[in-house]
Chain A
Amino acid sequence: MIQAIVFLPLAGALIAGLLGRIIGHRTSEYITTGLLIVSALLSWVVFAGYWFAPETAEGAGHAEATKVFVLEWIHSGPLQLDWVLRVDTLTAVMLVVVNTVSSLVHIYSIGYMAEDPHRSRFFAYLSLFTFAMLMLVTADNFLQMFFGWEGVGLASYLLIGFWYKRPAASAAAMKAFIVNRVGDFGFALGIFAAWVVLGHLDFDGAFHAAEGLKDNLPVMNFLSWQFDAMTVVCLLLFMGAMGKSAQFLLHTWLPDAMEGPTPVSALIHAATMVTAGVFMVARLSPLFDLSATAMMVVMVIGGITAFFAATVGLVQNDIKRVIAYSTCSQLGYMFVALGAGAYSVGVFHLFTHAFFKALLFLGAGSVIHAMHHEQDMRNMGGLKDKIPLTYWMMIIGTLALTGVGIPGTPLGFAGFFSKDGIIEVAYAAGESTGYIIFWALVIAALFTSFYSWRLIHLTFHGKPRDAAHSHTAHPDPAHAAAETHHEPIDDDNTDHAHGHGHHGSAYDNAHESPPVMLVPLFVLAIGAVLAGVVFNDMFFGHTEHIEHFFAGSLVVPAELLDAAHHVPLWVKWSATVAMLLGFGAAWYMYMVDTKAPQRLAEQNPGLYKFLLNKWYFDELYDRIFVQPSLYVGNALWKGFDDWLVDKTITEGLGARVRDVTNRVVKLQSGYLYHYAFAMLIGIAALLTWAIAAGGLL
């Protein structure tokens, strides 16, 4: 069954990619989507097996993972790596997340991409991505995980750059790939270090070896320093996770990735690929658990990301970028949970987040579709009555993201359970760092609530502000580095159904999306409402329940979870209060006193620009990495290669050599034969002499 789950999407990708032009767009769409739905249903069957697993006689925490051998891979001396599909609870959770969202995104794309002339290619890429992601989550060794890791990177590159005519899309695609490569640089070194320290690259072997090192942690020599070996391994691997999951310092690619079509943003840059880093740390929890230093770094980076991205999200005007920064921030939350040691809680947030964030993105796509590819929220407003179904779906997504619920009761949207769980874990992890991060997360929750409702108000409430209605003042200053984005429609296809929209008012022509786009929203909305309450017990309930559910596929720290369940009452309420404050502030600034945002921005121009320009990371990296690389490259080429080696050494060996050159230059090509013949004779003579002389001596 697992073979079918993993390889059906690959089959779809190959059919649509290689035969797309023969079988046509419509057939390609149906084949890839159909295969993915089958794969998704099978995933739920696998997941149900773990969900309803009976209590085993052995007790919790010792179930063997199922492994299916596929093909031999790299065998070199003691290094024996194969393609093996591994299934355990953690994998099953990921299978459900990946395939559910992917199949819904496939369905949605049939509507969203209906006018694109390269649809079969698009669907081939989507299915290829799904295959790579499935290889990642079913990996049984580090290297297969690395394959999936880079494979999703490739698919992400292809999909971000799907609208290849736009320079911004190609640039964003390249940036995503290269920034991820920086992370993979660490990942690769981490794999090498893991081999040196543990002697195994298959997970079970490595975990077993790590278990043996527990009481006597080794040191290793890395870059001429003696380090705690497990810290080196984990931090290098975590560098990979930071790249893929767009954590602070390696986050710059994610907002730019919004250049890709919106269904791609929902699938890859919200629900699945960006959570690969979270999955990696959870999968390797037996290793990370052995290094307190690495765990601290994970937690701190997570906390910084959660806070940083939320601040930037406050002022963005592009509807997709707001959600992108929100994703970045929520990934930070997940890493805080992982860093605290509560792996199951991090995975829980990954699980719930997939539903409501995909819902928000696809909802945003529906808005963009309705507004004829307008993405700037300053040109929206009042869409509630035009696209009511999309509106309500976005509301559900927002309620789930901001974590609406009543603490102490099982009443709440999905994000309420998982996000509040993380905040409680951060508090319970304690010590000074834990408290600082706890407060950072609470403040980030306030910001999350603020920018989420700001998005709703700007888009759906108030009066329309599109070109035809633009007499109303912009709620945010329009001058400062406004980044307006329009999803393009391919030039080849200008006479599409929406063509008229460009001539009239975008608002007046706004229309609700077709059912093929709305049904996926409904399904995701169910997940956004129920995923928390239904699964809370398995991810963040009683320790025995978590252990029973995960059956040893990740580390479950009993003490920490106990402490998290018994935090003071004010801690349990803190996130809810923050959420309400954020909601209230957004309501006041965007519904009551709509001049307030502009006033605030004008009073604090420095801070506003700092946030609007995303803390100036892009500019900084360009200055310290990109430009110097090009400068050095040029200097080495023109200076060293051309000047020193070529002009000075090679050609400066004396007039004798130059004479030869000149004479050779004068040779006609006909004479080259003679020259070559002379060479041949020369070599033969030299050789004969050498052998003869040798023989004589």
Chain B
Amino acid sequence: MLLSVITFLPALGALVLLFITGKGEAVDNLSRWIALGFTVATAALSLWLWYLFDPTTTAFQFVENIPFSDSIGYRMGVDGISVLFIPLTAVLMPAVVLTSWGSITKRVKEYLIVFLILETFMIGAFATLDLAIFYVFFEGTLIPMFLIIGIWGGARRIQATYKFFFYSFTGTVLMLLAIMYMYWQAGTLDIRVLLDFKFPPEVQTWLWIGFFASFAVKMPMWPFHRWLPEAHVEAPTGGSVILAAILLKMGGYGFIRFSISMFPDASHQFSTFVFVLSIAAIIITSLIALVQTDIKKLIAYSSVAHMGFVTMGIFTGNIYGIHGAIFQMISHGVVSAALFLCVGVVYDRMHTREIDAYGGFVERMPRYAFAFMVFTMANVGLPGTSGFIGEFLTMFAVFQVNTWVAFFAAFGVILSAGYALWLYRRVIFGALTKESLKGILDLDAREAVVLVPLVILTILFGFYPAPILDATAASVNLVAQNFANAIGAASEAAVAAAGH
């Protein structure tokens, strides 16, 4: 039951909010407090889930199974691959609600309802064990996100929502076809059964492409990333946070859960292709980030580069790569959320995203400068921050598979230092000369409550990543083992064929 409660508690919160009527500041604040209550309760339950999770087994835990028919059913359950995404989602939601105090003034109640529904969809996508339900939740997230950008977004929000929808939906159609085909082949959409079902290699190729289309857009991988900077720029702070921290991770989760695990032969076949795109993401988008003048675009492009490490790690298929990819996703969830929250802090004060309009914040905002420094360093992948572990493990993994890929990926390490420090220098350092900035105030209590835990998590997981690595280890081992077996069997078959 725990998984269902965590999944649908936010939706219940949305339902409660629907019954609140009236207008005005008091109603807005009441809505905020209710939403905060529900998200905090969900977060607490998700942490409890993490605590109860048994890291020694590879089996799915907290399983719920209510079959609707022979083939489709309400199936929930988590293993080491999925379990951590639930607390990640749930812990960031209260932060999103808290930002609505400063940055959202119109249709506050509706804003919160949409976010609560989005939370249910996101958690559901990670927690379900049925491919049809996964599809519904996975696609379902599009709608609230579409509304968030479309209603509470910036000036060019309509173009951004269009682009967002266009890319995502194109990818999805192909995935749906693949899901249908899998159903015809396997006779069920139970993920546990599908994980053990061996699809013939030539079928895998097509199914892999179908899923790839959807996840590559979601990640987003280069060159399917173009919707992301637009969406980020136009989205309100809360939208950017959820987009960067959670929605992108659904792509990475999908690659591990479906592509690598169900279609290992095809994954192996396509690994070089994915490596090339990952390297392109790391180097090209880093270079693009270097020349951005819009602070949100810069961070959005850096997200694409960081997701390049994730895809690169996943398709090595070895323990370090997958372990590193999961860690990188969790870490990036925290760090990118924090960076967008930091942008939100100054956006609420200055109402501009132009980097040139800033400068010298350290003078008036030392606490803000400190938090921003921690997240910048995590973005750069400094050892001692959570950003390092994932980058290290994924590059470590790929070096054993292909030294060229590791060589180019390591360039990303230099470039990330370039764009991140250049940003920091322009925003935080320098003399505070601009008249408009003279009266700017440091973090208030509400903002500190949001950012301080993220600072602590960033540093804690950098020094002591065991809570994340241990929880995922057993399942990662299994995935890597299965992948190696499949590749081994395939190459043995090839050798045998060559022998005859």
Chain A residues near B (Cβ < 8 Å): 71-79, 83, 143, 146-147, 150-151, 154, 157, 161, 164-165, 167, 170-171, 173-174, 177-178, 181-182, 184-185, 188-189, 191-193, 195-196, 221-224, 629-630, 632-634, 636-637, 640-641, 645-646, 650, 657, 660-661, 664-665, 667, 669, 672-673, 675-676, 679-680, 683-684, 686-687, 690-691, 693-695, 697
Contact = CB atoms under 8 A, between A and B. Distances in A.
Nearest to B367: A21
A223 B143 contact: no
Interface in B344-389: 360, 362, 377, 382-384, 389
A676 B169 CA distance: 13
B393 A76 contact: yes
B175 to A, nearest CB: 11
A646 B160 CA distance: 12
B288 A633 contact: yes
Q: Say what secondary structure dominates the interface of chain A.
A: helix
Nearest to A18: B370
A636 B413 contact: no
Nearest to B320: A76
A675 B143 CA distance: 9
Contacts of A188: 392, 395, 410, 413
B463 to A, nearest CB: 7
B406 A189 contact: yes
Interface in B388-412: 389, 392-393, 395-396, 399-400, 403-404, 406-407, 410-411
Contact of A174 (B291, B406, B422, B473): B422
A181 B414 contact: yes
Contact of A165 (B147, B430, B476): B430
B163 A151 contact: no
Nearest to A77: B319
Given A181-B414, A223-B403, A637-B288, A72 B464 contact: yes
24 contacts: A73-B464, A76-B320, A77-B323, A77-B480, A143-B383, A164-B362, A170-B425, A171-B425, A174-B425, A177-B421, A192-B395, A629-B290, A637-B291, A637-B292, A640-B223, A640-B284, A641-B288, A664-B158, A665-B159, A669-B151, A675-B146, A679-B143, A683-B136, A695-B69
A193 B393 contact: no
Given A174-B421, A178-B421, A690-B180, A661 B287 contact: no
B490 interface: no
Contact of B407 (A223, A633, A657): A223
A178 B425 contact: no
B154 to A, nearest CB: 12
Contacts of B166: 650, 657
A143 B132 CA distance: 44
B382 A154 contact: yes
Interface in B322-338: 323-324
A151 B417 contact: no
Nearest to A163: B429
Given A676-B146, A683-B140, A661 B72 contact: no
A661 B161 CA distance: 10
A695 B71 contact: yes
B314 to A, nearest CB: 14
A356 to B, nearest CB: 32
Q: Say what secondary structure dominates the interface of chain B.
A: helix
A687 B400 CA distance: 42
Given A146-B383, A165-B360, A195-B396, A170 B464 contact: no
A174 to B, nearest CB: 5
B473 A74 contact: no
B162 A661 contact: yes
Interface centre among A83, A161, A167, A181 (most CB of B within 10 A): A181
B64 interface: no
B272 interface: no
A630 B293 CA distance: 13
A71 B463 contact: yes
A253 to B, nearest CB: 12
Contact of A151 (B383, B399, B422): B383
B146 A170 contact: no
A196 B139 contact: no
B74 interface: no
A189 B290 contact: no
B429 A192 contact: no
Nearest to A632: B287
B400 A223 contact: no
B469 interface: yes
B465 A73 contact: yes
Nearest to A683: B139
A142 B340 CA distance: 34
Given A170-B430, A192-B395, A637-B291, A694 B162 contact: no
Nearest to A225: B403
A690 B172 CA distance: 13
B413 to A, nearest CB: 6
B416 to A, nearest CB: 9
7 closest Cβ contacts across the A-B interface? Answer: A192-B399, A77-B319, A633-B287, A147-B383, A633-B291, A165-B431, A164-B429
A679 B393 CA distance: 40
Contacts of A146: 383
B118 to A, nearest CB: 12
A691 B226 contact: no
B305 to A, nearest CB: 12
Contacts of A637: 288, 291-292
A182 B289 CA distance: 18
A170 B183 CA distance: 59
A179 B268 CA distance: 36
A170 B429 contact: yes
B472 to A, nearest CB: 9
A72 B466 contact: yes
Given A192-B396, A223-B404, A693-B180, 15 more contacts: A71-B464, A76-B473, A150-B382, A164-B362, A167-B430, A177-B417, A192-B395, A223-B403, A630-B291, A637-B288, A667-B158, A672-B151, A675-B146, A679-B143, A679-B146
Interface in B273-323: 284, 287-292, 318-320, 323
Given A143-B383, A192-B396, A223-B403, A76 B469 contact: yes
A694 B180 contact: yes
A690 B179 contact: yes
B451 to A, nearest CB: 14
Given A165-B430, A664-B158, A665-B158, A75 B324 contact: no
A181 B417 contact: yes
Given A73-B465, A77-B477, A147-B384, A661 B414 contact: no
A697 B418 CA distance: 56
A74 B389 contact: yes
Given A164-B362, A650-B166, A690-B176, A75 B410 contact: no
Nearest to A220: B403
Contacts of A182: 414
Given A165-B430, A687-B176, A697 B184 contact: yes
B135 A687 contact: yes
A650 B163 contact: yes
Contacts of B411: 185
Contacts of A71: 463-464
B370 to A, nearest CB: 8
Contact of B324 (A76, A157, A193, A660): A76
Contacts of B464: 71-73
A193 B292 CA distance: 35
A151 B384 contact: yes
Contact of B413 (A173, A181, A664, A683): A181
Interface string B163-201: 101110000000010011001100000000000000000
A648 to B, nearest CB: 11
A236 B317 CA distance: 26
B119 to A, nearest CB: 17
B184 A694 contact: yes
Given A77-B320, A224-B404, A694 B150 contact: no
A196 B399 contact: yes
